[in-house]
Amino acid sequence: MKDVVICAATAVTALGDSLGESWERLLQGECGIRPVERFDTTGYVSKVAACVPDLKPGRGGSRLAALLERTLDGLPAVPPESLLLVASTKGEIDLLERGRRGLEIDPRRLLAESVLGEIRRRTGVRGSGVNVNAACASATLALGRGAAAIACGDAEAALVVCADLVSEFVFSGFSALKALSPGLCRPFDAGRDGLSLGEGGAALLLMSRDRAEREGRPVLCRLLGWGAAGDAHHITAPARDGCGLILAVKRALQVAGIDAQGVDGISAHGTGTVFNDLMELTAFRTLFGDRKVPLHSVKGALGHTLGAAGGIEAALAIRSLESGLLPPTVGLRHPEPGGAGCVSASVLTFSGGILLSTNSGFGGINGALVLGRKEPR
């Protein structure tokens, strides 16, 4: 297997138009969740979400185009033959909203292939492309597929782009499911009462180490392992024993060639729903035993960015690996008993250089990535 490295990463979140700005504000414990202004929230459980500031509809009338433009803005030149993996659960869903309200739209933009085309147009990537839809684990699975293709020698480079919007479509749905927190979400808190939605995008350029060195690209971190597995349990609720997440993490560790003892920190999915967070803590307990592995969730600050979550969190993990810091879990007051000693409302430090990043989604799908600090050769 070839070594896979991440050579470039951008992220746009409610806390900033760059990875650096989002990272710095996360470390300060800031929260990007604010009252929603782009649609009327009167009939919904929640009134807040982590929207990207000043995100106006772009080309074709969707905010997604504007989000992609910002996300791809800071990306260096990408090899044209790169694989293209996109992770967006609902794409330009705001156009469907406009269409159902009687406004004129181009219906072809409702297809996911239109988002692929938009990204090709902006990046010049010509390699085969696919949008991966695995609900809130979409970006995690896309990163894993890209890494696997490079590791197996199918490709030398893969561009993974993820983006999802805060839309009334999704907001109303989570409200109807009673999954939204009426206030600000509080991942891993004993009193958590639901998630807060967010929007954002990330772009990550994966390469074989050989290709990166040949081109003089910076190595930001290593992508060592990836895994995905299903619960086969319930459509919208996680398996309480975390069986799918455990399988996904075990697979990622196997690919990375390390055991659970080798994990130094965790970027958890941590949505703030009662069942997700409990499932994750149960899975981590099964995987790591009594060892208190530092873990955090960014969703109290950035909201749940759906299919983009895994990509944004992988980009942030690069900064964690560089600094040895895990940002505060914003919203945390009294940790869920299973998370006590692992999760904190303050910045956490972790030693070593291996970070586990996990996500789970509707349909019972789970994804895991093992990322390693860049190392001098």
Partner 1 sequence: MRIYITGIGWVTPSGIGRGRARDRFSWGSGELPALSRRELFSEPYPRFGRLDDFSRLGLSGIALALSDAGLDAWQEKRPIGIVAETRLGCLATDIAYFDTVVSDGGALASPNLFAYTLSNTFLGEAAIRFGLTGPAFVANCDGGNDLGCLRLGIDSLRYGDCPVVVTGRCDLAPPSAIPIRDASTGAIFLVLAAGGEGVPPESYGELRWDSSGFATVDGAAAGTWEELAAACIAGGG
Active site residues: 136, 269, 304
Chosen residue from 36, 135, 278, 332 binding partner 1 by CB under 8 A: 135
| SS3 state at 161 | strand
Amino acid identity at 144: G
DSSP state of 60: G
Cβ 150 vs Cβ 206: under 8 Å: yes
Considering only 158-166, 192-200, 229-237, 324-332, which stretch makes contact with partner 1 by CB under 8 A?
229-237
Of 220, 262, 264, the closest CA to residue 373 belongs to 220
CB closer to partner 1 out of 254 and 349: 254
Q: Does 262 bind partner 1 (CB under 8 A)?
A: no
- Work out how close the CB of 139 gets to partner 1 at its nearest, in angstroms, rounded to a whole number: 11
Chosen residue from 10, 62, 71, 138 binding partner 1 by CB under 8 A: 138
CB closer to partner 1 out of 216 and 232: 232
- Cα–Cα distances (Å) from 216 to 122, 207, 209, in that order, read 23, 12, 10
Total of chain residues touching partner 1, rule CB under 8 A: 65
- Work out how close the CB of 95 gets to partner 1 at its nearest, in angstroms, rounded to a whole number: 11
b/e code 70-92 from CB counts within 10 Å (16+ = b): bbbebbeebbeebbbbbbbbbbb
Of 142, 131, 158, the closest CA to residue 64 belongs to 131
4-12 vs 221-230, strand pairing mode: antiparallel
| SS3 state at 221 | strand
- Work out how close the CB of 178 gets to partner 1 at its nearest, in angstroms, rounded to a whole number: 8
Of 347, 300, 279, the closest CA to residue 319 belongs to 347
221-230 vs 200-208, strand pairing mode: unpaired
- Work out how close the CB of 369 gets to partner 1 at its nearest, in angstroms, rounded to a whole number: 13
Q: Does 275 bind partner 1 (CB under 8 A)?
A: no
CB closer to partner 1 out of 56 and 101: 101
> According to CB under 8 A, which residues from 89 to 108 bind partner 1?
89-90, 93, 96-97, 99-101, 107-108
Using CB under 8 A as the criterion, what x/- string covers residues 335-374 for binding partner 1? --------------------------xxxxx---------
Q: Does 241 bind partner 1 (CB under 8 A)?
A: no
| SS3 state at 204 | strand
221-230 vs 265-267, strand pairing mode: unpaired
- Work out how close the CB of 91 gets to partner 1 at its nearest, in angstroms, rounded to a whole number: 9
Q: Does 148 bind partner 1 (CB under 8 A)?
A: yes
Chosen residue from 130, 190, 258, 340 binding partner 1 by CB under 8 A: 130
- Work out how close the CB of 298 gets to partner 1 at its nearest, in angstroms, rounded to a whole number: 22
CB closer to partner 1 out of 107 and 289: 107
Tell me how far apart the alpha carbons of residues 230 and 221 are, in angstroms, rounded to a whole number: 27
Cβ 69 vs Cβ 201: under 8 Å: no
Cβ 249 vs Cβ 287: under 8 Å: yes
- Work out how close the CB of 242 gets to partner 1 at its nearest, in angstroms, rounded to a whole number: 13
Q: Which residue has the tokens 């992609």?
A: 68
> According to CB under 8 A, which residues from 39 to 68 bind partner 1?
40, 42-44
Largest CA distance in the chain: 59
Task: List residues binding partner 1 (CB under 8 A).
Answer: 40, 42-44, 89-90, 93, 96-97, 99-101, 107-108, 110-113, 116-117, 120, 128-135, 138, 141, 145, 148-149, 151-152, 154, 168-169, 172-178, 228-236, 243-244, 247, 251, 255, 361-365
